[in-house]
Amino acid sequence: MRLLACIAIGVIAGTAISGLSAIRRARKHDFAAATRKGRQSAFIAFLVTCLSTTVLFGWPWRPVVDTVMETVEDIVEVPAWIFFTTTKTEFRQVPTQVSRTELSVLSLVPMALVGALGALTQILILRTAWRWLG
C-alpha cells in the first residue's frame, strides 16, 4: 500500500509540474515540445517517487545497533575492622547499546526501481492523455 502511495505521489507531482504542459502542447500538435515536457515530467515523477520512498520507507538508511563495552566506576564499601568500613573504587565493564543510521547501498536498487516504475506510469498516463485529448 505504501508502495502504491509512493508511485501515486510521484505521478501526481509529475503531472502537476510538467505533465499538464505536455498535454497542452500535444493538443496544439507541437509534439516535439510535448515529448520534451513529457520526458521532463517523467524525470520529475522519478525524483519525487524516490524521495517519497525515503520518507515512507526510510530507504536507503537503515538503523544499526551496536553493543559497546563501557567502563563504569563503582564505589564499594569494604569492611576493614569490626565496625569500620573503607570505601574502594572498583571498575567494571557494562554493555551499552549505541544506535546509529548508515547508508545501505543495496536498498538504492529497489529505490531506483520504484522510481522507474513511477516514471513509466507517468509516461503511460501522458501517452494515454495525448491519445484521448489530442
Tens place of pLDDT for every residue, the chain, 134 residues?
888 898 898 989 888 888 888 888 888 888 899 899 999 999 999 999 999 999 998 888 888 999 999 999 988 888 887 778 888 888 999 999 999 999 888 999 999 999 999 999 999 998 898 888 76
Q: Are the CB atoms for 122 and 11 separated by under 8 Å?
A: yes
Beta-bridged to residue 103, according to DSSP, are 61
Q: What is the spatial distance between Cα 23 and Cα 35, in angstroms, rounded to a whole number?
A: 9
C-alpha cell at 118: 513511477
Q: Pseudo-torsion of CA 54, 59, 61, 66, nearest 10°?
A: 130
Q: What is the spatial distance between Cα 66 and Cα 69, in angstroms, rounded to a whole number?
A: 10
What pTM value is reported for the model?
0.73
Amino acid at 70: E
Amino acid at 120: L
For residue 134, the model assigns a pLDDT of 63
- Structural domain boundaries in the chain: 1-60+104-134, 62-102
Task: Look at residues 99, 90, 92, 44 and name the one whose alpha carbon lies nearest to residue 69.
Answer: 92
